[in-house]
Structure 1
Amino acid sequence: MSRRRSAPIGIRQAGNRQAGSSGLRRRYLLAWLEQHREVATATLKGLLKQPLGTLMTLAAVAIALALPTTLSVALHNVKRLGGDWQRSAAVSVFLEAEVDEAQGAQLRQRLQQLPEVETATLVSRAEGLAEFRDYSGLGAALDQLPENPLPVVIELQVQRAMLAPATLSPFITRVDALTEVDFVREDAQWAQRFNAIVDLLRTATALLALLLGLGALLVIGNTIRLEIENHRDEIQIMALVGATPRFARRRFLYIGAWYGLIGGTLAAMLVTLLVWLLASEVASLAAVYHKSFNIRGLSAAQAAMLLLGGALLGIIGSWIAVSRHLGLSDGP
């Protein structure tokens, strides 16, 4: 009968030390998490005990975060609306009077194969006359014409990269030189202006967000400074009994995080309320122009970014205030 051989004593001791070290790290992590949970709960309860001052700070933070967020949501909806408009023809190619629909269809196929063209649509003489009748209100006068005077038209939707004047003008010159073409009308100028306005609004929104974010940071930082002054004696007593600067700083960082997180939540609610109030008005305005457009509010990702950004601003503002006014050194 064979006997099981036991591991050497040194190996068993090393294994026991490793297991003990792993258990110690686990207990340390659990204790660290429990400390943070206690501080987070205590600071939130402390804010609720002074509702007036807390509400004023939260209102300032929420408004500072809601203004650029509202502009960002509005800009996103304007871009959506502009995307619908930009699906209309960017270049209208009017063919010679003697070119019929069959020849126009052949030319349309040739133009469709160009890399600059996204879509090419043939508008027959009858379709052009019907569209002109609908938009001009001259139906009775058009009925008196002996024949349809309108030419065949090819509407070209070019690639978005072609909307810049430096790239669109040479393309129009090439198309205009074709033998079947009478003249070419550029419809993309409004799209160029629209894109320029959107870029300007995007930059203005980013700058406003930066300024108002700085304002929210200063509001939270000043509030934390007042909290430090109100608890100056308590902080000194904690330092005398051996509390580390990190432990004393933790409480104020959580207060700033709560201000930023709750302020971001209120900002998201405020933006959602504004979108809800404007939804019916926007739909009514779109109906006047025979369009269907539903305004969109914050997406889940945008709301999460707003809350995360608010909490981060609160932590940064608190860190600045604590670093300047806490009066404790991290040294030994």
Structure 2
Amino acid sequence: MFFIRHLQQALASLGELWRVPASSLLTMAVLGVSLSLPTTLHVLLKNGEQLRSTWDNAAEVSLFLKEHVSKEQAAKAVNRIKLYPQVSKVIYVSQEQALTEFKQLSGFGEALSYLDSNPLPAVILVTPTSQFSSPEGARELLEVLEQQNEVAFGKLDVTWLEKLSAIVDLLKDAVFALGFLLLLAVTLVIANTIRLSILNRREEIEILKLVGATDNFIRRPFLYTGFWYGLIGGVIAWVCVSLMLWSLEGALSALANELDTDLMLDGLAFSEFLILIVLSAWLGWLGAYFSVTRHVNEIEPENQM
């Protein structure tokens, strides 16, 4: 009987919402848009974390060889470096290849043809394994590889990776703070909506108290109303975020083609969707609870004043 009574009141509160569809849908839309903002920030943060992992994996050590090193000596150095467990891939770029690439990329092909000798050194490009792909791990690998006799010096350009990583961490903290404020705003909106509903039904509540209805019985429909507001608002937020990601697919695909890379925006996983729905329903119930606890207790039948 207990669960049946709760189910009846839950369905009855949902029916009350649809009796005033315009105001109910407007409130749900406001909640949905408000919830979509922290949800969107979460999605962007999640994709930013994935992008940062690809940045870390992009760390590459450049080893510039000494001038007197022959191709045979360079080949031996390459084979020796491949034996290191920290190394994933090794590419040898000869002086001739380096000059050809520089001519193609710099646009100074004709000017370089007047040089008597090739000023560019041979280079060994080393890609670390995933365990050493972070800036710290790549630096450790660079210190080890610079000890090779054939190497003049090594270079590792990870300053930009560290700056981008710091920016992502800053955005992460900002997203959490802004998300908390937006969720608090959702709770306050629901609390105010329930307060207005209580005031509109003041006479009904007074009559219920006159006939002996308990405060819990009176509160229950309002709590379920807040629950429905939050639940449907969460669904609307999911729809808004999904539509936004769908609208960005074309622009993202064009950007990926320009950058010659794979760029994809991952939406909400099913577990994240469930968390969104449960969290929004809980916020609706919480806002209703705060409002009901205060305002229902203040209402008493006039003959008992």
TM-score range, shorter chain: 0.7 to 0.9
Shift of 1:41: 1.2
1:49 equivalent in alignment to 2:14: no
Q: What TM-score do the two structures reach when normalised by structure 1?
A: 0.78
Maintained 8 Å contact 1:163/1:191: no
- SS of the aligned residue for 1:86 comes to helix
1:40 equivalent in alignment to 2:13: no
Tell me what 1:105 maps to. 78
d(CA) in 2 for partners of 1:164, 1:33: 58
User: Any stretches of 5+ residues in structure 2 without a counterpart?
Assistant: 300-305
d(CA) in 1 for partners of 2:14, 2:4: 15
What root-mean-square deviation, in Å, do the aligned CA atoms of Structure 1 and Structure 2 show? 2.7
Q: What TM-score do the two structures reach when normalised by structure 2?
A: 0.85
Q: Deviations along 1:258-287, whole A, 9 cap, x unmatched?
A: 010111111110111111111101111121
Maintained 8 Å contact 2:195/2:291: yes
Tell me what 1:23 maps to. none
After superposition, the Cα gap between the structure-2 partners of 1:140 and 1:158, relative to the gap in structure 1 and judged at 3 Å, is: farther
Shift of 1:153: 1.0
1:152 equivalent in alignment to 2:156: no
Tell me what 1:11 maps to. none
Tell me what 1:16 maps to. none
Q: Deviations along 1:65-107, whole A, 9 cap, x unmatched?
A: 1112112212222333343343323322223230534222233
Count of paired positions: 294
Q: Deviations along 1:178-221, whole A, 9 cap, x unmatched?
A: 32221111122222112111111111111111000000000000
Tell me what 1:179 maps to. 149
The residue identity in structure 1 corresponding to 2:240 is L
Maintained 8 Å contact 2:64/2:122: yes
Maintained 8 Å contact 2:56/2:133: no
User: Any stretches of 5+ residues in structure 1 without a counterpart?
Assistant: 1-30
Higher relative contact order (CA 8 A, sep 6+): 2
Maintained 8 Å contact 1:221/1:318: yes
d(CA) in 2 for partners of 1:134, 1:297: 40
Shift of 1:63: 1.8
Shift of 1:253: 0.9
Structure number with greater Rg is: 1
Question: What is the identity percentage for the equivalent residue pairs of Structure 1 and Structure 2?
Answer: 35
Maintained 8 Å contact 1:99/1:180: no
d(CA) in 1 for partners of 2:153, 2:169: 32
Maintained 8 Å contact 1:90/1:158: no
Maintained 8 Å contact 1:91/1:158: no
Tell me what 1:210 maps to. 180
